[in-house]
Structure 1
Amino acid sequence: MIGRALTSFFWGWLADRYGRKPIILIGTSSVVLFNALFGLSTSLWMALSMRFLLGCFNSLLGTIRAYASEVCREEYRSVALSVVSTSRGIGMIIGPAIGGFLAQPAEKFPNLFAESSIFGRFPYFLPCLVISVYAVGVLAACWWLPETLHMHDKKVSERCDSFDVLEASSEESDEKEYVTEVKERKISKNANLLRNWPLMSVIIVYCVFSLQEIAYAEMFSLWAVSDKKYGGLSFSSQDVGEVLAISGFGLLLFQLLLYPPIEKLLGPITVTRISAAVSIPLLASYPYIAMLSGITLHLVINCASILRNTLSVTLVTGLFILQNNAVPQSQRAAANGISMTAMSVFKAFGPVGGGTL
């Protein structure tokens, strides 16, 4: 989180200047390299260093959010950002489960992995290697991505700089209007993002929600596996994995099939407000869920988890749409970089605060 907070704006600025595709390729390459090295860590400091470098070089989320809003027509923009949010949400749900399944393979699968092998000496290398191999495939696919940052013709800029409005004839009125429009785009390109209140307000909401989101992710598994006498659910790790897997599947269906028409009908602001409002009583009901038992407990916690994750990703998707709509294309990646920087700072405190509480 610290590495990402330090460099997200820089990568966003580069994406606005040189294009989205190079930054996506660099970010994906960093996953291939630093994630594999993280699995080969021989000390805590090496592990921390690899995670820090991964955060410094990986600016995928912010750049992809800008890319997704540009690669398709406006009527499909909510679907594109919904896919980004869904992929991120499912990754955060299923990723830890996959990592836990593949970790320490020499102990779990002694017939396949010997203690003397590299997977025995580095018990967490296998999940990291699988992710790196997967990232290699993603990197190859990204090579053919079209660039969405359209560079304006230099001739248009020269026309704007040399055009003399006072001496223009009446026959050139259409051209004057066109040049004025281009000049306005140039001004907006150099506008100070920190003074863009619609953008800053969205980022503030996103940061506060990110703090709550990471705290929830930190506490849910601990709460689920805690004994009932301590207010937990007395779940096994397998039970927790099943709840997360079901939540991921339900989230995928909702975001792909239901969110786009709902967003089109109500608009991103209304959808975001409703999601935030419903999340409050839902989270407040969790202590009472622990009073249930048997099949009723499993049914209710699965429904609550699906609803909570659906509301979470719906809220984030709405914020993504509002954020991208608040800036022109020439500043979109930089705006997402600022958002990622602020969000990373808040998320850095989330696990500590959630674990302490």
Structure 2
Amino acid sequence: MAPPAPDPISSASSSDLTLMDPEPMASETTPLIGNNNKSSDDVEDGTAARPSPGKPLPKMQVYLLCFNKAMEPIAFFAIIPFIAQMVQRNGNLPYSDVGFYSGLIESLFSLTQMFVLYSWGYLADTVGRKPVLLWSLVGMTVATFFFTVSTSIWQMIVFRCVAGVFSGSGLVIRTMLSDHTTAETQAVAFSWFAFANNMGIFLGPLIGGALADPAAQFPGLFGGIKLLEDYPYILVGAAITACSVFSIVLSVFYLEETLEPESTTTSAGVSAPARPQRLSTFELLKAPGVGIVIWVYTHVMFLAFAFTAILPVLLFTPIDLGGVGFSSSRNSVWMAIQGASQAMWLVVAFPMLQRRLGTKGSLASCVAVYPLFFAGYVAMNTLLRIGTESSVAVFWVVAFIVAFIGPGVSMAFTAIQLALNDVSPNPHVMGTLNALAMTAASAIRSFVPGVSTVIYAIGVKYQILWGHLVWAILIPIAMSLSIFVRWLPEDKQSHKLPQNEDEE
């Protein structure tokens, strides 16, 4: 899992388990609402007030939001281990048709999500963050449970689409994290957000694999229990429901609303300025910097989705065809190493990098490494094809670099989310702005993984460029991203904040 995978939801292949979740890291606007200090002028002119330097990160709120974030990928990825078996069982299909229906069900989730994300963002900016988050979590929980007890393919399709309808929690959580953070603390908060997302991707398949069809897996314990024989995946649904209910209850009692009321009344009975007028979607897209940031966001997600889909296939492909010919066990070790490496880059390295270079500088650094990271897989195959003792020794050096250093490119996901924060015209369109970016990412996710694996397969089958056709396409695309990053606006707030007001 080099650059952890962006929740590729378009297919139910093992590529979905790569930890490069680009959604992951979506974030909101830097300006804070709620408890941030704003002047009346800031509110009246509709610009985002500068966060108060030194404001501490509300750790409990961040932990609650990250816990809630983990619930969404757990619910999504828990079905991956058994979806093919479930499709075959419920549809009584020949094995040749299983892949089609499995992919269809997962693609419909992404397509449904694409059409509803904007509405979730709009509601979060108008109704409030907390109620919208709770509705989304409840809907996702109910839909996932009924999916696990579905007895026909049509029921599976319907409940997976319902789950897509209620897949707005990640969007709202990003918005609430932005509301809680300042320019000094946002890098830390969003690094933990990304870490929580990847933990969900990691735990989901474990839960699904361990609890699916217990009567067959553990006949000594569960054999003969009619409920488990009739509904072999109900334990998965029950486990996810229990975890989700726990997170919902904690949110009901302890999570704070972060959207400002329309107006407030001071103790002297004077009304404070109302929230700035909402912008239309067209006005928001025309706001300075918004268009280019969304483009770069989508470009980064494109690379992540493509890589996530290709990696498991490449690791399995024989050396003479363009892959590295790893066994299943070695594939698992490779994925685990890259996932752990990514977590360290996100949680430990990114906050320091962002503090030193700023958001744009840290993003530019990650983007510069992306082509080299992709080229590392070409080099690995080339060294193995040479097959000499010295080339194999060099292969392990390159493999070490690719596995441990390569996942650092995943910091681009968090960096571009912070850039999205900076270009928000005001704090009250953060949900909508995130929704626009995530909708574009969902559209990309609905077809990029499939197209990428098809191109890879064509290159391998016909040995185009020795099986490296897909890299010949992706590396120039990755290189072009550096050009667009240069067009990004400078950080709205310097990463080196003044120590006191006299320095401003």
Same fold at TM > 0.5: yes
Question: Are 2:141 and 1:52 aligned?
Answer: no
Q: Given the alignment, which residue of 311, 319, 325 partners 2:416?
A: 319
Question: Are 2:359 and 1:262 aligned?
Answer: no
Q: Given the alignment, which residue of 239, 258, 265 partners 1:148?
A: 258
Q: Deviations over 1:181-221 (max 9, x none)?
A: x69x725x436212124122111111122222122222212
Do 1:90 and 1:248's aligned partners in 2 also have CA atoms closer than 8 Å? no
Residue range with higher mean Cα deviation, 233-242 or 43-52: 233-242
Distance 2:241 2:449 in 1: 25
Q: Deviations over 1:212-241 (max 9, x none)?
A: 212222221222233334333333433333
| CA 267–139 in structure 1, closer or farther in 2 if over 3 Å, else same | same
Distance 1:297 1:9 in 2: 46
Residue range with higher mean Cα deviation, 291-300 or 56-65: 291-300
Distance 1:300 1:102 in 2: 38
The 5 A counterparts of 1:94-173 are 95-96=204-205, 98-114=207-223, 117-143=226-252, 144-153=254-263
Q: Given the alignment, which residue of 315, 335, 339 partners 2:433?
A: 335
Unaligned runs of 5+ in 1: 161-178
Post-superposition offset of 1:87: 2.1
Post-superposition offset of 1:251: 2.3
- Give secondary structure in 2 for the equivalent of 1:186: coil
Q: Deviations over 1:112-140 (max 9, x none)?
A: 33276444444444444433322222212
1:196 matched to which residue of 2? 287
* Aligned residues between the structures: 333
- Give secondary structure in 2 for the equivalent of 1:150: coil
Post-superposition offset of 1:333: 0.7
1:89 matched to which residue of 2? 198
Q: Given the alignment, which residue of 251, 254, 276 partners 1:186?
A: 276
Unaligned runs of 5+ in 2: 1-109, 456-504
Do 1:103 and 1:123's aligned partners in 2 also have CA atoms closer than 8 Å? yes
| CA 227–126 in structure 1, closer or farther in 2 if over 3 Å, else same | farther
Q: Deviations over 1:16-46 (max 9, x none)?
A: 1121111111121122111122222223332
Structure 2 residue identity aligned to 1:114: G
- Give secondary structure in 2 for the equivalent of 1:74: coil
Structure 1 residue identity aligned to 2:176: Y
2:151 matched to which residue of 1? 42
1:20 matched to which residue of 2? 129
1:175 matched to which residue of 2? none
Do 1:115 and 1:121's aligned partners in 2 also have CA atoms closer than 8 Å? no
Structure 2 residue identity aligned to 1:348: S
Post-superposition offset of 1:4: 1.1
Residue range with higher mean Cα deviation, 40-49 or 225-234: 225-234
RMSD in angstroms over aligned alpha carbons?
2.9
2:478 matched to which residue of 1? none
Structure 2 residue identity aligned to 1:202: V
1:214 matched to which residue of 2? 305
Do 2:363 and 2:416's aligned partners in 1 also have CA atoms closer than 8 Å? yes
Q: Given the alignment, which residue of 355, 362, 374 partners 1:271?
A: 362
Q: TM-score, normalised by structure 1?
A: 0.82
Post-superposition offset of 1:8: 0.7
Q: Deviations over 1:35-77 (max 9, x none)?
A: 1222222233322222211111120121111111112343111
Q: TM-score, normalised by structure 2?
A: 0.60
Do 1:24 and 1:142's aligned partners in 2 also have CA atoms closer than 8 Å? no
Q: Deviations over 1:69-120 (max 9, x none)?
A: 1123431111111211222234335544554454444444333332764444
Do 2:114 and 2:443's aligned partners in 1 also have CA atoms closer than 8 Å? yes
Q: Given the alignment, which residue of 246, 249, 260 partners 2:337?
A: 246
Do 2:276 and 2:428's aligned partners in 1 also have CA atoms closer than 8 Å? no
Structure 2 residue identity aligned to 1:151: P
| CA 209–127 in structure 1, closer or farther in 2 if over 3 Å, else same | farther
